[in-house]
């Protein structure tokens, strides 16, 4: 999947991205509006060992702690920090506090034992525990605790009470004996301040996340929809699956059911031009094996084979060809309805010997176009179409006409079309844009190959105008509009 193809998908299915954006932004706004605000109060403390008899140099942890003090929010001057450092260098200092101790103090800050001294009930203890974040700043003696609450005043008071009770608890726990002082002292570096702005919800961040998620879902939906869609959308795909050339691309016309024939619009429409291009391409199929009898079929019903065969017959007749169109669909005939002719006798009557071939053929229009309707619907259409009588009829018609077109049933429903193709020069497969599935085309090709029938080409039918704008089948469309000037191998 290249970049150009992705851009075409986005242009085609932009509405999916738009819907995703609307849902994403709306959801973010609703979540933000319904989320109660929370305020955070932060307090920073320092763990300091009490004096020991032995004097030692200042540790690396102390130096990093002093560096953090210089950049902290506490109102303390640089001279005061230097004086504190000098005092520690001149006086006997403590044994260093290990990082394991600092991690233990961090866990102690959010423990139930400590919080139980601040709040009363068990539910409040669990709530405060969930809203406390403690960080032991690496390689220092500093602890930073953040208390979150819906009330800014309560958040500040909880943080202040936490530091007070924490200092008392550490003092009790770090006493070697009851009558000796604690070996560790907790100092408050930054007092908690009353927060002015809530830390959550954050409207801009929420909306930004909503937009990002919406874009991801929208683009992902477009790609997934394209991957799951196994219908034929491009002439290149149809050509690849059928292993034959795409001879024409017929545009979608919403009035095709009401006005199926191009002669009704005086041949001035885009559909009429598309059928003339199909006629021109058909004339250049394998000059040495130019087909004179051609079966027009499809994979499944309602894919446009009858309208294609009818309009191709008209286009060939308009070019001065002597053409006969046979309604070979003895199960659901459509040709008589398209051309508005009465079926007094037809193909079935000729095959069973009830009518002569010449009497069953009807001339239509001002051109040299003749129609052989289906006749009455028989109980055994496959046997009739595969009979020696049908072969004899085709041989007689090929001698009398420049082109014999047969509108046959779909390939995948019954074997009629494959049987007819075996007796003709080849078949033309009609696929409908967005309806004919890829596996159907493969199975249709296999059905023709099983009877050693020749597939001369394919037609992509009912292609919407937007598909041409987005590049679907563009190559074949340009080729057909230019009317092939070189032979196409079958």
Q: Write the pLDDT tens digit of every residue in 423-447.
A: 999 999 999 999 999 999 999 999 9
- What was the pLDDT predicted at 86? 55
Contacts of residue 329, defined as CB under 8 A and 6 or more positions apart, other chains included, come to: 306, 335, 374, 407, 408, 409, 416
Positions of the chain with pLDDT under 50: 53-55, 75, 90-93, 469-490
pLDDT, position 54: 47
- CA neighbor of 407 nearest in space, from 347, 457, 467, 450: 347
pLDDT for res 119 = 87
For the chain, how far is it from start to end, CA to CA, in angstroms? 30
Residue 264's pLDDT is 60
Q: Which two tokens stand for residue 406?
A: 């047969």
What pTM was computed for the model?
0.65
CB atoms < 10 A from the CB of 36, how many? 8
CA 380 – CA 14 distance, rounded (Å): 51
SS3 475: helix
- What pLDDT is attached to residue 489? 32
Q: Report the length, in residues, of the chain.
A: 490
pLDDT > 90 fraction of the chain, expressed in percent and rounded: 55
Which residue, 317, 418, 318, is CA-closest to 370?
317
Q: Give the whole-angstrom CA distance, residue 444 versus residue 241.
A: 10
Give the pLDDT confidence score for residue 66 in this predicted structure: 67
Chain centroid offset of residue 466 CA? 19
User: Domains in the chain, start-ordered, CATH in brackets?
Assistant: 3-35+201-226 (no CATH), 39-190 (3.30.70.1130), 232-481 (3.40.50.300)
């Amino acid at each position: 999947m290249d970049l150009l193809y992705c851009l075409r998908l986005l242009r085609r299915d932009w509405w999916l991205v738009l819907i995703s954006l609307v849902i994403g932004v709306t959801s973010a706004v609703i979540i933000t509006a319904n989320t109660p605000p929370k305020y955070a109060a932060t307090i920073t403390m320092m763990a300091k060992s009490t004096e020991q008899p032995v004097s030692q140099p200042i540790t690396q942890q102390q130096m990093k702690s002093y560096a953090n003090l210089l950049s902290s929010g506490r109102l303390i001057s640089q001279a005061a920090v230097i004086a504190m450092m000098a005092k520690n260098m001149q006086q006997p200092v403590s044994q260093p506090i290990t990082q394991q101790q600092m991690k233990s103090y961090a866990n102690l800050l959010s423990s139930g034992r400590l919080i139980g001294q601040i709040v009363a009930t068990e539910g409040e203890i669990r709530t405060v525990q969930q809203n406390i974040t403690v960080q032991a700043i690496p390689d220092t003696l500093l602890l930073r605790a953040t208390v979150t609450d819906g009330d800014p005043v309560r958040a500040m008071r909880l943080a202040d009470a936490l530091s007070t009770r924490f200092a008392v608890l550490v003092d009790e726990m770090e006493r070697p004996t009851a009558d000796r002082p604690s070996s560790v002292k907790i100092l408050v570096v930054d007092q908690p301040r009353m927060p002015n702005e809530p830390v959550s919800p954050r409207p801009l961040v929420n909306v930004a996340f909503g937009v990002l998620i919406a874009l991801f879902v929208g683009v992902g939906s477009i790609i997934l929809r394209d991957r799951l869609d196994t219908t034929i959308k491009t002439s290149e795909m149809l050509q690849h699956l059928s292993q034959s050339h795409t001879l024409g691309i017929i545009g979608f016309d919403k009035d095709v059911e009401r006005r199926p024939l191009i002669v009704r619009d005086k041949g001035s429409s885009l559909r009429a031009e598309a059928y003339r291009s199909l006629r021109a391409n058909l004339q250049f199929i394998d000059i040495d094996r130019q087909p004179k009898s051609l079966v027009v079929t499809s994979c499944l019903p309602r894919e446009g084979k009858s309208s294609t065969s009818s309009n191709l017959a008209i286009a060939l007749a308009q070019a001065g060809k002597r053409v006969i169109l046979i309604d070979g669909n003895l199960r659901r005939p459509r040709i008589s309805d398209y051309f508005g002719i009465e079926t007094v006798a037809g193909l079935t009557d000729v095959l069973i010997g009830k009518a002569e071939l010449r009497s069953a053929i009807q001339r239509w229009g001002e051109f040299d176009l003749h129609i052989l309707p289906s006749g009455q619907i028989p109980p055994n259409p496959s046997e009739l179409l595969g009979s020696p009588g049908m072969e004899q009829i085709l041989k007689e018609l090929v001698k009398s006409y420049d082109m014999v077109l047969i509108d046959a049933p779909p390939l995948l429903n019954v074997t009629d079309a494959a049987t007819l193709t075996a007796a003709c020069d080849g078949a033309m497969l009609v696929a409908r844009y967005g309806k004919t599935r890829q596996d159907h085309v493969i199975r249709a090709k296999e059905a023709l190959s099983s009877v050693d029938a020749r597939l001369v080409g394919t037609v992509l039918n009912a292609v919407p105008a937007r598909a041409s704008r987005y590049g679907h089948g563009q190559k074949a469309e340009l080729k057909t509009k230019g009317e092939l000037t070189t032979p196409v191998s079958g």
